[in-house]
Structure 1
Amino acid sequence: MDYFIFDVDGTLIDTEKMYMLPLHKTLLENGYNFSYADVVKLFGINSMDTVKILGVKDPVDIRQKWFAKIKDYTQYVHVYDGIEDVLKNLQANPNVRMAIATSKVEAEFQRDVTRFGLDKYFDQFVFSSEVKKGKPAPDMILKGIEKLHADPNSTVYIGDTKYDLQAAHAAHVKFGLAGWRTPMSADFTDTDYFLKEPADLLKIVHSN
């Protein structure tokens, strides 16, 4: 692979608790009896899609209340061990170009990623506001390919959810499962690369 496009949440940084704890609290406060396990299954997709899938009566209101709470949970965010070293190595390879394609809007990206300095390793960025449909639609990955001027046959999308897998294959690129967060399961039988740790990314450079 020569072109690496990354998801953010659950792939570069661990943001599960920052997002899902306040969502769960919001749902309980508004009379919805979901368990945390019910809620966390939707981690990694567009926020409006998440509340719609949950079937709440007023998704706009619930999303607004949810997002008002997130600022109180940012202490839970951290970069996964080994990620920054791998990004440095990939950036140093003159044949490799990298992008981020995330369901975040740019302000969320700056809050969650820029503060750790990870943005300096990437050539291009795609935010949810730039595309019509979020994952599992391929729009964000296709936009990343466009911005990188990438060859899809030499492109891999790195993510941690089945929605990431579906989006990658809909975009006709390879999919690498971030195994440092997500274990292999029946949902990922079509995974092209199971990456047990971030360093495994270095093993697939030019492997196409």
Structure 2
Amino acid sequence: MNLKHYIFDLDGTLIDTEHAILKTWQYTLKEYGHEYTLDEVKVVLGVTTDIGLQRLNANVDKKYTYKWQENYEKYSSKADFFDGAKEMLKYLKDNGCSLGAVSSRSKNEYEKFFGTFNLEEFFTTIVLEDDTKDHKPNPEPLLKYIELTGADKDSCIYIGDMPTDIQCANNAGVISGLVTWNGSGVSCAEAKLSFSSPKEVCDLVTTRACSFVD
């Protein structure tokens, strides 16, 4: 593989937000009279709000997204990079790799909840929900990234934590990578590669070990 473009999902891949997201969904849906366990709302992970509501068959109004974002502030303060993830991004950038992100987050959510992570320090291109009509597992978000960067598909890898990420990559003709360092237990046989630690992503660049400890 001659990889140059390393494209990442955000939630559950680089940044540990799963608990905050699930609690926000549970709390917000309860405001609409829907009672769901945290396990039941896991179907919303890795997809847009509209798709999540469809999967839960939950009836809400047009204010749901606003209420969700408002409630997320109650739980988002504990979100942080997974151990080694920030060091991995720095290592890749320092070794001449082009870094990007493809996420189902809206621009408003990204600016509001990810601003403190200074991701633009690493990413040259970020594709969000608002940038495409169709969303993961549809390939359009990754194809949008390729359009914006002029990247060769063969030089790209998309790394995420959900089957929808893997399907998006495979559908776009891009190498797919599944992270397991988040401890979610999610598996996907369709993934071309899997990574149990950020160091293993660095090892794609060189056989020399990364200069940080897991």
TM-score computed with the length of structure 1 as normaliser: 0.90
The 8 Å contact of residues 5 and 155 in structure 1, kept in 2 or not, is answered as: yes
How far is 1:179 from its partner?
1.1
Residue 60 (structure 1) aligns with: 62
CA distance in 1 between counterparts of 2:126 and 2:186 reads 28
- Provide Cα deviations, 1:167-206, integer angstroms capped at 9, x if missing partner: 1111011111111124353xx1111111000111112238
Give the CA deviation at 1:149. Answer: 1.4
CA distance in 1, matches of 2:170, 2:206: 19
Residue pairs, 1:105-116, within 5 angstroms: 105-116=106-117
Q: Work out the CA distance in 1 between the residues paired with 2:54 and 2:60.
A: 9
SS in 2 for 1:36: coil
Aligned partner of 1:195 in structure 2 is: 195
Partners of 1:4 and 1:99 within 8 A in 2? yes
The structural deviation recorded for 1:80 is 0.7
What is residue 49 of structure 1 aligned with on the other side?
51
Residue matched to 1:10: 12
Structure 2 runs not aligned, ≥5 long: 208-214
| C-alpha spacing 1:64/1:109, structure 2 compared with 1 (3 Å) | closer
Structure 1 residues 89 and 125, CA gap change in structure 2 (3 angstroms):
same
Distance across 2 between alignment mates of 1:142 and 1:183: 28
Report the Cα distance in structure 1 between the residues aligned to 2:36 and 2:119, rounded to whole angstroms.
Answer: 34
Q: Which structure has more helix as a fraction of its residues?
A: 1
| Greater mean deviation of Cα atoms: 111-120 or 74-83 | 111-120
Pairing of 1:110-189 with structure 2 (within 5 A): 110-181=111-182, 182-183=184-185, 185=187, 188-189=188-189
Partner AA of 1:80 in structure 2 = F
Change (3 A) 1:206 1:135: farther
1:175 and 1:21 map into 2 onto residues whose CA distance is 29
User: For residues 64 and 113 of structure 1, do their structure 2 counterparts lie closer, same or farther at Cα, with a shift above 3 Å needed?
Assistant: closer
The DSSP-based 3-state class of the residue aligned with 2:146 is helix
Tell me, in whole angstroms, the C-alpha distance in 2 between the residues paired with 1:105 and 1:63.
10
Query: Do the aligned partners of 1:2 and 1:206 also contact (CA within 8 Å) in 2?
Result: no
Confirm whether residue 204 of structure 1 aligns to residue 193 of structure 2. Answer: no
User: Following the alignment from structure 2 to structure 1, what is the Cα–Cα distance between the partners of residues 49 and 26?
Assistant: 13
- 2:120, 2:105 → 1: CA distance? 14
Q: Distance in 1 between matches of 2:186 and 2:49?
A: 25
- Give the alignment's Cα RMSD to 1 decimal: 1.8
* Alignment: residue pair count: 204
1:125-167 CA distance string (max 9 Å, x none) = 1111110011111111111112221111121101000110111
1:4-54 deviations in Å (ceiling 9; x for gaps): 111111111011122220210122332223211010232121012111221
Q: Give the match's secondary structure for 1:135.
A: coil
- Superposed counterparts of 1:3-42, under 5 Å: 3-42=5-44
Q: What percentage of residue pairs aligned between the two structures are identical? A: 29
Distance 1:51-1:124 versus aligned 2 partners, 3 A rule: same
Residues 1:71 and 2:73 are matched in the alignment? yes
